[in-house]
Amino acid sequence: MDIHEHQAKAILARFGVPVPRGGVAFTPEQAAHLFRTLGGEVCVVKAQVHSGGRGEAGGVKLCRSDAEVREFASGLLGTTLVTKQTGAAGKRIDRLWIEEASNIARELYLGFVLDRKSERIMIVASGHGGMEIEDLAEEDPESLIRMVIDPAVGLADYQARELAFRLGLSGQQVGQMVTALRACYRAYRDLDAMMVEINPLVVCDDGSIVALDAKMSFDTNALFRREEVASLRDPGQEDPRESFAHDHGLAYVGLDGDIGCIINGAGLAMASMDMIQLAGGAPANFLDIGGGASPERVCQAFRTVLSDPNVSVILVNIFAGINRCDWIANGVIQAYKEVGIEIPVVVRLSGTNVEAGRRIIRDSGLPIIGADTLSEAAHAAVAARPHTIAAE
């Protein structure tokens, strides 16, 4: 789960990371009021969307009067910001962050991520901030500093000092960097984060270190024990299909194809999507219906898949262990009655109560396409697509 910049800054400030003063505005009038409240001659107005590259896309501006703030805010709020990371659909701007301007002497990059190879938290840092980490890795790979943290020890002071020295800091800046690093590590560890990124982390003219921008993402599977983090979720920034699935307890990831998938088990789902590709089609989603799926849960899975207007065929592929094929079959029939399915549906069942499940499908009288194997199901789904799509 991602959160907004202002939310990430509030969390990091609570752990001890210095951030600029600022406030959130939902209207142009609030934005202008915040400019006056901050009391400076210059402020920065930032669109709050779950994406990087906001500045290049026109979502960030330096303003020198409350009238300028109001005008810029009026032009942003309620519009869609398209960046390199959002894709063509963009993200809707419903809030702004107004903060005091900083006198920047240097920009640094700092990130905490999970390194799956070492199974450790890794710090990635660079003396060149303000760029996307992908651009940094491509354009100046030698500038990236990587440091792995031993979970049994945590971030040691000597590691933090070494990193500060390698970034070219000296004097009191070293102590400030150590404090910021330890604060970021504690926030990452204590809140089940998946990423903490400060870009840029700036050294100001007076020698102070400030987090000028911040991103945090969290392990969705741990949100049940992090209520304060879960409360920061903004469904308006999410794919509406994924938001709908999340609200109904389904594991769903939207893709760009047209064959909707309802499958149990992540491994089988991945294999099914691969088989669809081999058969000449393109999956519209990853959806793991999970174990013990009731007919009601199957019905919700159909609603989720059909919320994508690009879906032209649905492939149901179930290998029942904890699940039962008769439950799935009854769920498919219920979906036809309640949802109103008007596109082809291919069903492949295997495992517990498979004969009962197939009999329910066969006796339903509905135009459901049956399949015995995954390969057969994938080819049937591709063949069942409308001719206009198949021709493409």
Residue located via tokens 């063949």: 383
Dihedral of CA 240/50/18/99: which sign? negative
Relative orientation angle of helices 295-306 and 240-247, to the nearest 10 degrees: 170
Identify each DSSP E strand in 161-246 by its residue range.
Answer: 193-204, 209-211, 215-218
Q: What angle do CA 71, 46, 243 make, to 5 degrees?
A: 115
What was the pLDDT predicted at 391? Answer: 41
Average confidence (pLDDT) per 10 residues, the chain, 392 residues: 96 97 97 93 95 91 96 96 87 96 94 93 90 73 89 94 94 95 97 95 95 95 93 87 77 90 91 95 90 78 90 92 85 89 93 92 92 94 73 43
Class of domain 21-101: alpha beta
Contacts of residue 172, Cβ cutoff 8 Å, sequence gap at least 6: 207
Catalytic pick among 5, 109, 252, 336: 109
Return binding residues for substrate.
264
Cα distance between residue 336 and residue 319, in whole Å:
21
What was the pLDDT predicted at 52? Answer: 87
CA distances from 389 to 246, 259, 383, 384 (A): 29, 11, 10, 10
The answer regarding whether domain 239-391 maps to CATH 3.40.50.261 reads: yes
Contacts of residue 106, Cβ cutoff 8 Å, sequence gap at least 6: 127, 129, 202, 203
Return binding residues for Mg(2+).
199, 213
Q: Is 109 considered catalytic here? A: yes
CA distances from 303 to 287, 341, 359 (A): 12, 9, 24
Catalytic pick among 185, 188, 197, 238: 197
Q: Where in the chain is the domain with CATH 3.30.470.20?
A: 1-19+103-237
Query: Which helix (H) or strand (E) element contains residue 163?
Result: helix 157-166
Q: Where in the chain is the domain with CATH 3.30.1490.20?
A: 21-101
Residue located via tokens 């910049």: 5
Q: Look up the CATH architecture of domain 1-19+103-237.
A: 2-Layer Sandwich (3.30)
Cα distance between residue 259 and residue 266, in whole Å:
17
Q: Let me know how many helices (H) and strands (E) the chain has, helices first.
A: 14, 18
Relative orientation angle of helices 5-15 and 172-190, to the nearest 10 degrees: 110
Contacts of residue 41, Cβ cutoff 8 Å, sequence gap at least 6: 64
Cα distance between residue 244 and residue 246, in whole Å:
5
Cα distance between residue 364 and residue 335, in whole Å:
12
* Distance in Å from the first CA to the final CA of the chain: 35
| Residue 153 DSSP class | T
Cα distance between residue 351 and residue 293, in whole Å:
14
What was the pLDDT predicted at 292? Answer: 64
Return binding residues.
46, 53-55, 99, 102, 107, 199, 213, 264
